[in-house]
Homo-oligomer: A and B are copies of this chain.
Amino acid sequence: MINIQFAARSLRWAEYEAPLRAALDAHGLSYRMENYTPEAHLPPAEVDYVVYAPNSHLQDFTPYTRTKAVLNLWAGVEEIVHNPTLTQPLARMVDHGLTQGMIEWVVGHVMRLHLGMDHHLTGQDGIWRRHVPPLAEDRPVTILGLGALGAACGQALARLGFPVSGWSRSAKDVDGITACHGDAGLAQALDGAQVVVLLLPLTPATENVLNAEALARLAPGAFVLNPGRGPLIDDAALIAALDAGHVAHATLDVFREEPLPPDHPYWAHPGVTVTPHIASETRASSAARVIAENIRRGEAGAPFLHLVDRGAGY
């Protein structure tokens, strides 16, 4: 019998209990798992694993003398690596759901615009409208940012048939993507693009990268998608391009201020779809599988995945 102490704020227990039990059961593990409150928890000296969020009430790990690992629910560990009582092996959350969710958001929202799906979603009125969209191969897409997320999204779109170009500040090489870099490369990547997806990190050099000059390079009727960072877009320039019809639609998941204020013009603009910063979000189901795999490894005497290097701090 493995004793697992779940220690996070209470809402997380409601979200994680069923996925964790499913993932642990899938490994055939025999366990007792309970939620931590300051008043009620497993006897610390009997706990084998702590599933942990740094904002939990559990802060003193001293009595957890037989605990084999603390398995973090968060990717970031900067709030706990300096807890002097936490001497047990500590694993970060590395959730492929963050990348996978981003791929799904990008593919889904590109396909909605590419297929002109709204013609049908909003036209269920008995009129047979034979609007046939172009093929993906005739719809050039440009991804700004060729890090892990940009490369993965670009490759998913390329596999669906879109000609995909990508841009990054320094030179990169990504299979299936025509890569450009530097200032001259940015103009080249944007020229004539029918879809642009923003997946750059936010730095002083990338703020407002999609400004009036950049927008003017896109093909007339282009689509803009921003699941990256809000300040990558010059909002006034985007609204002007939408009003002029040069950009046909923008689907935006991130904003300078979040939640996006109810009176922000993006909400009411017919050419803008707002999604509430959901493109890349840890899913309980995939995170639970990461936790369960580490418990399986601990019980099998195999090395833990994603262990934090205390010296390096991550």
A-B contact list, 23 entries, CB within 8 Å: A101-B135, A104-B114, A104-B115, A104-B136, A120-B273, A120-B275, A121-B273, A124-B274, A126-B261, A126-B262, A128-B258, A128-B260, A130-B276, A130-B278, A131-B278, A132-B278, A132-B281, A132-B283, A134-B283, A135-B283, A137-B285, A138-B285, A156-B160
Partner of A109, one of B117, B136, B273: B117
Task: Tell me the residues in window 242-284 of chain A with beta carbons closer than 8 Å to chain B beta carbons.
Answer: 258-264, 267-268, 272-278, 281, 283
Q: Determine how close the nearest CB of chain B comes to the CB of A229; give it in whole angstroms.
A: 17
Tell me if A75 is interfacial: C-beta within 8 Å of chain B. no
Tell me if A111 is interfacial: C-beta within 8 Å of chain B. yes
Q: Are B127 and A262 in contact (CB under 8 A)?
A: yes
Q: Are B286 and A135 in contact (CB under 8 A)?
A: yes
Q: Are B134 and A285 in contact (CB under 8 A)?
A: yes
Most chain-B CB neighbours within 10 Å: which of A108, A129, A263?
A: A108
CA distance A156 to B261 in the complex (A): 38
Tell me if A213 is interfacial: C-beta within 8 Å of chain B. no
Tell me if A88 is interfacial: C-beta within 8 Å of chain B. no
Q: Are A117 and B126 in contact (CB under 8 A)?
A: no
CA distance A105 to B114 in the complex (A): 10
Residues on A lying within 8 angstroms of B by beta carbon are: 97, 100-101, 103-105, 107-109, 111-112, 114-115, 117-118, 120-121, 124-138, 156, 159-161, 258-264, 267-268, 272-278, 281, 283, 285-286
Partner of A124, one of B160, B258, B267: B267
Q: Are A105 and B109 in contact (CB under 8 A)?
A: no
CA distance A133 to B280 in the complex (A): 11
Please list the 7 inter-chain residue pairs (A to B) with the smallest Cβ-Cβ separation, ordered nearest first. A126-B262, A108-B111, A128-B259, A128-B276, A108-B115, A126-B267, A132-B281
Known: A128-B259, A129-B276, A262-B127. A107 touches B100 (CB 8 A): no
CA distance A278 to B263 in the complex (A): 38
List the B side residues contacting A263 at CB < 8 Å. 126
List the B side residues contacting A268 at CB < 8 Å. 124
CA distance A130 to B108 in the complex (A): 17
